[in-house]
Amino acid sequence: MVLVFDPVNQQTPEPTINVSIPESVVIGESFKLSITIIKNNLNSFAKAQLNLPSGFIPEPIETENAKFLFEEKTIKFIWDRMPSKPELIICMNINTENASEGIKGISGVFAYLDGSVKKEKYIQSSIIKIEEPSTASIPKGEVAPSHKIPESSDQQDQLEYRIQIAAASNRIDIKELANKHNIEKLLKEEIHNGLLKYTVGPYSTYNIARKQQSYYRITKGVKGAFIITYKKGKRIP
């Protein structure tokens, strides 16, 4: 008996697709979404498709040479022929400026050709919590200020920004506060409106401060972290 090897019908092991997102994000902040595709020996046509919640706006960072499309809450990455390497990592920023509060799911499907056979693999749903900006750690009677980015370079030269971590009527042990939130940067203590305020910084631009605010809220768990503006070293009310 003669065995005949047919390369056309030789099938590749099923690909693995993983989506990585943070557990939560504050409305108005951006977060990174990455898709890892372990494609093995697949080198033909393929399409990765994700369905986003309302208000999520993607901005591609790394497409792995795929064509990027976004319409009606659906992201598509399309390859006429996939790159030869066995693992692909697609990255994008997701803006939540127009998103609503709540638990959101991101799911999708990966379609591909295995030889001459069309196949689909569903991408397991990933969950993210969209939160309203919290004022839980802001002292009673004090409102988190809203700042605008300075319009002129002269104004920017005079301003700096810090992130307020906590406030209290009695002194807080700075070392204990830093350990509680795993803060590596030096905390500054100051008195303002009769309260002791604890901040980190300074940051030279408002955009940098916003990124740090998001970092402390999401990564460090300081839900009430907010931005304070200083002009020539003095805190602006």
Instruction: Report residue 143: phi and psi, to 5°.
Output: -110, 135
Report pLDDT for 10.
57
Rounded to a whole number of angstroms, the CA Rg of the chain reads 24
Distant-in-sequence, close-in-space partners of 106: CB < 8 Å, separation ≥ 6: 19, 21, 33, 50, 51, 52, 53, 125, 126, 127, 128
Q: What confidence tier does 224 reach under pLDDT thresholds 50, 70, 90?
A: confident
Query: Higher confidence at residue 98 or residue 11?
Result: 98
Average pLDDT of the chain to the nearest whole number? 81
Give the SS3 label for residue 230: strand
Q: Where in the chain is the domain with CATH 3.30.70.1070?
A: 153-235
Per-residue pLDDT at 59:
84
Architecture of the domain defined by 153-235: 2-Layer Sandwich (3.30)
Q: 56 near 73, Cβ under 8 Å?
A: yes
How many helices, marked H, and strands, marked E, lie in the chain?
Answer: 3, 15
Predicted confidence at residue 143, as pLDDT, reads 42
What's the pLDDT tens digit per position in 113-155?
A: 988 899 999 998 999 999 887 533 444 444 444 444 444 444 5
Q: What is the pLDDT of residues 42-63, one digit of tens each?
A: 889 999 999 999 888 888 889 9
In this prediction the pTM is: 0.54
- Identify the bridge partners of residue 235 per DSSP, sorted by sequence position: 230
Which regions of the chain carry the CATH code 2.60.40.680? 13-131
| Arch. (CATH architecture) of 13-131 | Sandwich (2.60)
Question: For the segment 158-199, what is each residue's pLDDT rounded down to a tens digit?
Answer: 788 899 888 877 888 888 888 888 887 778 898 887 778 899
pLDDT at 11: 62
